[in-house]
């Protein structure tokens, strides 16, 4: 087959721009600034375990909230009339066309101490609430930016589901709650899993949202990496080590998630 040769330029491209850079990260993570082998960088990462714990915690909370908000949205959209479905999905996608930094910045203006929400609360006589530069603000930012990634895969699984299966369960006398827990939810599991990974990975590794909405106090893994490469404490060796640990961590998380997937039904993905 001659067709195979068409992939050669791409193969070379990916070796140069994906595989070699990853090997460089590996090399930098295990060497000193002079280039000698060392395990010191990896050991130093341990010192930042509180940052890792915080990132994973905030990422997990944001993922859980996105799932709780996104599942009903996907379910409702999948149950509306066909002509409305594409309109509603478009409405979910549309905010993502505004630059991500600007959307996060808009939340700064909303959540500030003298911001719009606080002005509104005061006008209603409820008093001001301190929201910006808290972990809650970071979670709001993450959920806002990544909830569409949860809704797409859930929607594409739920829309494909055969309604007669649900009717069958109802005919057999199952209550609404039982139908959901025993029929709808198990069948939508592939969508749940790809939604969770699509939200969790960017949420854990973000460095803008925490910087803009979390103030200086809620440092995350991404901020740590940023500092080593372009920030105050220039140290690409340590930065590479942190990146490596982050990568391994996410691979492990995804491996665990895939255990829940039966691997038969491949759902999810962005409908385009």
Partner 1 sequence: MKILSKIYMGLVFLFLYAPILVLIVFSFNDTDTMSRSVWSGFSLRWYERLFQDRMILDALRNTLLIAVVSALLSTVLGTSAAIGINGMKRLPRRLMMNITNFPMVNPEIVTGVSMMLLFVFGARALGGLSLGMGSMILAHTTFCLPYVILSVLPKLRQMDGHLYEAAQDLGCPPVPSFFKVVLPEIMPGVVTGMIMAFTLSIDDFVISYFTSGTTQTLPIYIYSMTRKRVSPEINALSTLLFGAVLILLLVVNLRQARDKREQKARREEAAG
Partners of residue 31 on adjacent β-strands: 37
In this structure, are residues 242 and 171 in contact, taking their beta carbons and an 8 Å threshold? Answer: no
Shortest CB 247 distance to partner 1, Å: 5
The nearer residue to partner 1, 24 or 185, going by C-beta atoms, is 24
Shortest CB 72 distance to partner 1, Å: 6
Shortest CB 21 distance to partner 1, Å: 3
The nearer residue to partner 1, 93 or 183, going by C-beta atoms, is 93
In this structure, are residues 41 and 25 in contact, taking their beta carbons and an 8 Å threshold? Answer: no
The nearer residue to partner 1, 117 or 183, going by C-beta atoms, is 117
Shortest CB 56 distance to partner 1, Å: 13
The nearer residue to partner 1, 6 or 172, going by C-beta atoms, is 6
The nearer residue to partner 1, 24 or 53, going by C-beta atoms, is 24
Shortest CB 8 distance to partner 1, Å: 7
Shortest CB 106 distance to partner 1, Å: 3
* CA-wise closest residue to 221 among 42, 37, 102, 51: 51
Shortest CB 195 distance to partner 1, Å: 14
The nearer residue to partner 1, 61 or 208, going by C-beta atoms, is 208
The nearer residue to partner 1, 187 or 207, going by C-beta atoms, is 207
Query: CA-based diameter of the chain, in Å?
Result: 75
Partners of residue 37 on adjacent β-strands: 31
20, 24, 26, 38 from 11: Cα distances, Å: 12, 18, 21, 32
C-alpha 165/C-alpha 189 separation (Å) is 16
Shortest CB 30 distance to partner 1, Å: 14
The nearer residue to partner 1, 36 or 102, going by C-beta atoms, is 102
């Amino acid at each position: 087959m001659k067709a195979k040769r068409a992939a050669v330029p791409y193969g070379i491209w990916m070796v140069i721009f994906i595989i070699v850079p990853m090997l460089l990260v590996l090399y930098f993570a295990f060497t000193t600034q002079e280039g000698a082998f060392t395990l010191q960088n990896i050991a130093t990462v341990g010192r930042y375990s509180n940052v890792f714990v915080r990132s994973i915690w905030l990422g997990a909370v944001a993922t859980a909230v996105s799932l709780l908000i996104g599942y009903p949205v996907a379910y409702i959209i999948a149950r509306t009339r066909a002509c409305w479905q594409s309109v509603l999905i478009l409405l979910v996608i549309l905010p993502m066309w505004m630059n991500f930094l600007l959307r996060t910045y808009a939340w700064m203006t909303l959540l500030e101490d003298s911001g719009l929400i606080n002005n509104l609360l005061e006008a209603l006589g409820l008093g001001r609430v301190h929201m910006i530069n808290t972990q809650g603000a970071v979670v709001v930012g993450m959920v806002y930016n990544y909830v569409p990634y949860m809704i797409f895969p859930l929607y594409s699984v739920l829309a494909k589901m055969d309604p007669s299966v649900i009717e069958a369960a109802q005919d057999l006398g199952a209550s609404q709650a039982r139908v959901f827990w025993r029929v709808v939810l198990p069948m939508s599991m592939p969508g749940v899993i790809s939604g969770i990974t699509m939200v969790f990975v960017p949420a854990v590794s973000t460095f803008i949202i925490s910087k803009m909405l979390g103030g200086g106090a809620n440092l995350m893994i991404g901020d740590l990496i940023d500092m080593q490469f372009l920030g105050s404490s220039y140290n690409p060796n340590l930065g590479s080590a942190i990146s490596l640990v982050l990568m391994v961590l996410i691979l492990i998380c995804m491996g665990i998630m895939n255990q829940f997937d039966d691997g038969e039904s491949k759902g999810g993905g962005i409908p385009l």
